Amino acid sequence: MASAAANATSKFLTISQVSRLHNTFVYKIAQPSQAPMPESAVNSPINIDYYESQTNLFQLAANLAEKIMKNHSYQDENKRTAYVAANMFLKINGYQLEETPTASMADAHVVVCTNIWTAEELGRYYESNARAIPGWSDCTKEYT
């Protein structure tokens, strides 16, 4: 279980990175269902970090995941894309979720989609299932 993560210099994914993750790891041929939706989802955690001063990495990751899922950012596989993007967001900030999602992780995404859980509850779930990456340092490069 990860400890509470507050980071004044959080790194955020770009729309091109999330699209590349979707196309590489999730669904190779799906295009965004509506062009602005993936961008809106990617910008959401940046906005809550800036305007609401939310610095908890797990809450920011959950916000990203929720927006990808609920915006129906892609034609298919939005829950998987949400997981992969949230996990990559956490990785570039020094944490990671399980490499192979369990049934309970998949269920956590379903209950957010069906409004049983909020993004805040998903963030707490991520935090309870994440671990710090051993030897991680904040000297990562930015890639677009």
Per the domain annotation, does 5 fall within a domain?
A: no
Per the domain annotation, does 138 fall within a domain?
A: no
Report the alpha-carbon distance of residue 77 to residue 132 in Å, rounded: 27
Per the domain annotation, does 60 fall within a domain?
A: yes
Domain of 20? Answer: 15-132
For the whole model, what pTM was predicted? 0.83
Per the domain annotation, does 58 fall within a domain?
A: yes
For the chain, how many structural domains are there in total? Answer: 1
Nearest to 19 by CA among 9, 33, 5: 33
**What tens digit of pLDDT does each residue of 50-90 get?**
999 999 999 999 999 999 999 887 777 888 889 999 999 99
Question: What tokens does 45 get?
Answer: 């955690």
Decide: 56 and 4 in contact? Cβ < 8 Å. Answer: yes
Select the more confidently predicted residue: 92 or 27.
92
Per the domain annotation, does 141 fall within a domain?
A: no
Report the alpha-carbon distance of residue 133 to residue 144 in Å, rounded: 22
**What tens digit of pLDDT does each residue of 114-138 get?**
999 999 999 999 999 999 999 887 7
Per the domain annotation, does 79 fall within a domain?
A: yes
Q: What is the CATH number of the domain that holds 122?
A: 1.20.120.1870
32: left (phi over 0), alpha (psi -120 to 50) or beta: beta
With vertex at residue 72, the alpha carbon angle to CA 113 and CA 125, rounded to the nearest 5 degrees, is 35
Report the alpha-carbon distance of residue 14 to residue 36 in Å, rounded: 13
